[in-house]
């Protein structure tokens, strides 16, 4: 029953896709000193994918940007206004965006015009895991939970009709994994910025925005 629904939803989703590609990737800060090769990030001239955190600060010493990578894949990208209020937050899983959040200068959460496109991409990714042979139901339902949290109706329906032999415990594990990737909850609160570094010295190699 669940498989039939997903196949039908997949067909309907493909018809609903726009004929023009719409990017759901974040705008990469121009000052990042990493380069992308086949979907992985490297330091210039490095042969091993980058693992670590890149952080920058405003001229007043407040955090400006933070990006976290492991084995060349982005996990988290955040930025802040000069007053310390969050500006953007992106979370990723296996190179794919999980959630994007934007705030205005006063800390009010803003809507994102491409959220529906992103949620549909996530739903189709879950369908692909579901229909693979053999299927990967855990990954499928991780992505269904993520798509559902981002407002996708068919993903919510998929969560209500899991396969009979996909246990409630396994479904709960997938949900917990998804909530962790989303930042624990999709009832969003503004994230705290990292601690401000020591005051920027007048001389030295510290970079400024």
> What pLDDT is stored for residue 24 in this prediction?
57
Strand ranges of the sheet holding 96-103, from the earlier edge strand across to the other edge? 52-57, 63-70, 73-80, 86-93, 96-103, 109-110
CA atoms of 159 and 162, how far apart (whole Å): 6
Average pLDDT rounded to a whole number, residues 164-173:
92
Q: Which of 29-33, 59-63, 100-104, 113-117 has the lowest mean pLDDT?
A: 29-33
Tell the burial category of 138 from Cβ atoms under 10 Å away from its Cβ (0-12, 13-18, 19+): middle
Q: Which residues, 6 or more positions from 24, have their beta carbon under 8 angstroms from its beta carbon?
A: 97, 100, 114, 117, 118, 121
Digit-coded pLDDT (tens) for 140-165? 999 999 999 999 999 999 999 998 88
- The answer to whether residue 188 scores a pLDDT higher than 50 is no
pLDDT at 111: 87
Q: Average pLDDT for residues 2-11, to the nearest whole number? A: 47
Q: Select the more confidently predicted residue: 202 or 73.
A: 73
Distance CA 150, CA 153 (A): 9
Model-level pTM? 0.69
E strands along 39-126, which residues? 40-42, 52-57, 63-70, 73-80, 86-93, 96-103, 109-110
Q: Which of 151, 167, 126 is nearest to 7 (CA)?
A: 126
**What's residue 155's pLDDT?**
95
Half-sphere exposure of 30 (CA within 13 A, CB side): 2
Average pLDDT rounded to a whole number, residues 95-114: 91
Burial class (CB in 10 A: 0-12, 13-18, 19+), 30: exposed
As a whole number of angstroms, the distance between CA 56 and CA 62 comes to 9
């Amino acid at each position: 029953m669940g498989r039939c629904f997903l196949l039908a939803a997949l067909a309907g989703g493909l018809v609903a896709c726009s004929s023009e590609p719409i990017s759901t990737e974040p705008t990469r800060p121009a000052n990042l000193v990493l380069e992308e090769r086949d979907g992985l990030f490297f330091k210039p001239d490095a042969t091993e994918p980058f693992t670590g955190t890149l952080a920058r600060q405003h001229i007043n010493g407040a955090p400006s940007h933070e990006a976290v990578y492991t084995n060349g894949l982005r996990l988290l990208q955040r930025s802040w206004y000069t007053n310390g209020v969050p500006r953007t937050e992106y979370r990723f899983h296996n190179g794919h965006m999980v959630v994007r959040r934007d705030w205005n200068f006063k800390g009010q959460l803003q809507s994102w015009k491409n959220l529906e496109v992103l949620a549909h991409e996530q739903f189709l990714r879950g369908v692909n895991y579901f229909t693979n042979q053999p299927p990967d139901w855990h990954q499928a339902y991780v992505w269904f939970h993520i798509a559902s949290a981002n407002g996708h109706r068919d993903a919510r329906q998929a969560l209500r009709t899991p396969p009979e032999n996909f246990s409630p415990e396994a479904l709960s594990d997938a949900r917990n994994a998804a909530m962790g990737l989303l930042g624990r909850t999709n009832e969003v609160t503004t994230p705290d910025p990292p601690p401000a570094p020591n005051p920027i010295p007048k001389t030295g190699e510290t970079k400024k925005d």
